[in-house]
Chains A and B, each alone.
Chain A
Amino acid sequence: MSVPHDFELNRRDLMVGGSTLAAMTAVPAAVKAQPNSTGGAALSNISLTVNGQAHALELDTRTTLLDALREHLHLTGSKKGCDHGQCGACTVLIDGRRVNSCLTLAIMNEGMEITTIEGLGAPDQLHPMQAAFIKHDGYQCGYCTPGQICSGVAVLGEIKAGIPSHVTPDLMQPVTASDEEIRERMSGNICRCGAYSNIVEAMTEVAGRQG
């Protein structure tokens, strides 16, 4: 990961915290420290690459990647179910790997290739996984769905890349997209409507098509 050039200064601002010390800190143009008893509400200029598009943003350094996407870029497909990494509704792909976007700060993702559900496909141009979710009714309320689909795409990629899991029976053999592998790997994405059985069918269909 490349370190944003003003990250060091931000971190120091956050660490000194108190207003007296913060007032003594040199403030570069890119950082507007707002020293106060909350521990500092520093703003930082960053660039995020989302779905192939670069966006320049001025963000509170406390902003999670999830809130940067939803509140600042208005890409609300990534959902906030818990904000604590417990539900998976905010899953996005960062450099092809799935990440709970509520557990990473926006400023930590400069220079990364971020893909959200909106980047996978649109209503008139569905990604095969999105089409399979519709066909197999792999959702109900739809709130966990973008996270399930992003995870689903990444999981099949992990299996294809031969990355083993807790339930992989033989580390010397190629990993297959079995029901058990899919269920194990998808368990970080909660669906309270309980569409699991259908989601496994949707993913199995896509895995089969991928060969």
Chain B
Amino acid sequence: MKFDKPETTNPIDQLKVVGQAVDRVDGPLKVTGTATYAYEWHDPDSRLAYGYPVGSTIAKGRIVSMDLSRARAAPGVVTVVTAEEAGELGKGSRNVATLLGGPDIEHYHQAIAIVVAESFEQARAAASLIQVTYQAADGKFDLAAEREGLGPTGSDDKVGEFETAFANAAVRLDETYTTPDQSHAMMEPHASLASWDGDKLTIWTSNQMIAWSVEDIAKTLKIPPADVRVVSPYIGGGFGSKLFVRSDMILAALGARATGRPVKIALPRPFLMNNTTHRPATIQRIRIGAERGGKITAIAHEGWSGNLPDGEPENAVDQTKLLYAGAHRLTGTRLATLDLPEGNAMRAPGEAPGLMALEIAMDEMAERLGLDPIDFRVINDTQVDPGNPNRPFSHRQLVECLRIGAERFGWSARNARPATVREGRWLKGIGVAAGFRNNLTMKSGARVRLDGRGVVTVETDMTDIGTGSYTIIAQTAAEMMGLPIERVEVRLGDSTFPAAAGSGGQWGANSATAGVYAACVKLRETVAQRLGFNSKDCVFADGEVRSGDRRAPLTQAASNGEVVVEDTIEFGDLRKTHQQSTFAAHFVEVGVDAATAETRVRRMLSVCSAGRILNPKTARSQVIGAMTMGVGGALMEELAVDTRRGFFVNHDLAGYEVPVHADIPHQEVIFLDEVDVMSSPMKAKGVGELGLCGVGAAVANAVYNATGIRVRNYPITLDKLITQLPGAA
């Protein structure tokens, strides 16, 4: 099905199942520990062996020699595979660093071997016996040091004459902000179980994008994609870390090939933060010029980041092209070559760090103008793409988000003068920020089966990384086929199923359900045809098909065997003619300890405008989870770079701090009741990344309101506040 015209009325609009706050259909498995994650597949008949990785202890250089003899002689060891044993390997088209290093080393903890043994304990012990001699080379590890003299990556995006307009602006801001390297830190480490049957490879893994993985595993191992099957029905969190093939898949496959046995491996927690990807640090310069009344006339956002050769920049400037009005604009990225581990997508890549900076700048600018920060944003709202006014937003309710949120949060009680509200030992402040994330759509397929029991089974390689895919897909099929949700079975995450959108870029919910919608439209047509009905005027309800005064049970269509159809939703150019984005207003109240500068988040509210909400329960969870990650980014998360040896020092969950229960208050979310007919037949967009975009800045602005201290370098840890606290000596 091609989606290339604004949607009119369709069966989803009934909202009998879709749009309802249905409990997760996979909930009973998850709460009882019976959902099977990657490392947990167990075939009692297979002679499973355990893998353990070895990582490089230098960041750049060459392996001179590896002494594997002690490891090979260790009890229980079956084999050791290094790049030398593995033979020539390719590289996945979505990988920057190779997944099995040697002799060249591209980054610290790049995998250089897998030890395969009869038990986990034996593999781990033997891995520590491998002696590696390196020839280290000088590397570059310090983004700030590399910043000077870097030109634009590609060309800057320019509208009007920014420099002139900025120079002539009545009120100006020119500030620089930094965000640190961040780690996804999902709870389930990357893990894979690989098994060869002749030339055919099956990998049970934990991955967000099944079809991409099939391609890149095949490319890496130099085998045909048709020989690769990837299975990943449950994923213990991803946040972008599991978008691509990582070393666990390749090491497991090589270990299994070398031993002729199934091999499983999980990346040890202290290893994976340098071995896999991270969100790259940024330096961002923002300039805003405005008229005294608050109208922005010039806005520029430049972002510096680093990556390995051939890596991409962290595009922290993109939202600034679209979020606020202003005739004269400049945005661009500058990319340094760094020899740190590979930087890549983490939840809301670009916008998350970009809005952490931009939305502090907006707060600062409002203060310079003597305007309320909400009024300043409202003045500069735009209903069209500012760089191309002929291109309207499909649906934009940022102003409504801000106004509704202000009312609900009690914004009018805010004292605009910072450091003036005190409650006992706490300095109290509230802050606001806008959230913005584009709505991406991806081609997505599904197969649907109707059987004689009247059960509809959906098969798609879509993944559920905690997002609720199982549930919203079941809701979609139930709505389309006129069935209760209990009559729908959903099977996900298997490359033998039709390729779907996968989980990334907050495109999953809308695109994957649209694919299921397309397949169900075809199933309805086939069912109608089998029952001798005119498919155009059929109603599917209560397990029946009705047309005029004729009716037949749905099961009748499958009386001579299962009905199986497949379709794919493809998207036309509505995204080109209309800017499709999602919007939010985030409100945060903090208390900052007047003596210790400890910041505690006390209240949080997000108001989201994101098209139809397919399931308010799971969507709300996406947003509160993102708000939580936003608190982490604002107050604690930072991979500390050792700029001499070139690695992230705090590479485990004790050193890399993420929010815990005690850090997070009760959170509120409001979804605006809306649909976006330009987005898909589901009229939905995404919320999973939107919920993160801007939250960090709302926290930062609240800290400023509480203390009068403007911290522009995240995270806002107490050392950055304590010497400047009001009343500090």
Contacts and interface: CB of A to CB of B under 8 A. Distances in A.
B466 interface: yes
Contact of B236 (A67, A121, A123, A142): A142
B126 A140 contact: no
Interface in B465-486: 465-468
Contacts of B660: 186-190, 196
Interface stretch (B103-111, B325-333, B405-413, B623-631): B623-631
Given A86-B652, A137-B618, A187-B661, A34 B466 contact: no
Nearest to A77: B33
Given A36-B75, A63-B121, A86 B654 contact: yes
A50 to B, nearest CB: 13
Contact of A199 (B129, B234, B266, B661): B661
Given A79-B37, A87-B187, A137-B617, A194 B628 contact: yes
A186 B661 contact: yes
B236 A83 contact: no
Contacts of A146: 31-33
Q: Chain A: interface secondary structure?
A: loop
Contacts of A77: 32-34
B23 interface: yes
B317 to A, nearest CB: 27
B466 A142 contact: yes
Contact of B23 (A41, A81, A137, A140): A137
Given A38-B74, A60-B122, A194-B628, A78 B654 contact: no
A41 B122 contact: yes
A79 B24 CA distance: 20
Q: How large is the interface on B (under 10, 10 to 19, 20 to 34, 35 or more residues)?
A: 35 or more
B620 interface: yes
Given A38-B75, A117-B32, A134-B28, A141 B235 contact: yes
Contact of B32 (A80, A126, A190): A126
B467 A140 contact: yes
B671 interface: no
A200 B628 CA distance: 14
Greatest chain B CB density within 10 A among A116, A123, A143, A190 is at A143
Greatest chain A CB density within 10 A among B26, B33, B40, B665 is at B33
A73 to B, nearest CB: 11
Nearest to B631: A194
Given A76-B36, A142-B236, A197-B664, A60 B269 contact: no
A122 interface: yes
A149 interface: yes
Contacts, number: 221
Given A71-B120, A118-B33, A142 B26 contact: yes
A14 interface: no
B532 to A, nearest CB: 40
A107 interface: no
B185 interface: yes
B187 A76 contact: no
Contacts of B629: 192, 194
Greatest chain A CB density within 10 A among B29, B30, B129, B661 is at B661
Interface in A119-167: 120-124, 126, 130-131, 133-135, 137, 139-146, 149
Contacts of B622: 140
A205 to B, nearest CB: 14
B547 interface: no
Given A37-B70, A142-B30, A197-B665, 14 more contacts: A38-B129, A41-B76, A81-B236, A86-B269, A117-B33, A130-B28, A139-B27, A142-B29, A145-B30, A186-B661, A192-B237, A192-B629, A193-B621, A198-B624
26 contacts: A37-B74, A38-B74, A38-B128, A39-B125, A60-B119, A60-B122, A76-B33, A79-B188, A81-B269, A82-B652, A83-B268, A86-B652, A130-B31, A137-B23, A139-B31, A140-B467, A142-B35, A143-B186, A183-B661, A187-B660, A190-B658, A192-B186, A194-B627, A194-B629, A194-B659, A197-B665
Interface of B: 23-24, 26-37, 39-40, 42, 70, 73-76, 119-122, 125-126, 128-129, 184-189, 234-239, 266, 268-270, 465-468, 617-618, 620-622, 624-629, 652-654, 658-662, 664-667
Interface of A: 34, 36-39, 41, 60, 62-63, 67, 70-71, 74-84, 86-87, 89, 116-118, 120-124, 126, 130-131, 133-135, 137, 139-146, 149, 179, 182-184, 186-200
10 A-B pairs with the lowest CB-CB distances in the bound complex, closest first: A77-B33, A194-B628, A143-B236, A140-B466, A141-B466, A142-B30, A194-B625, A117-B33, A123-B28, A76-B40
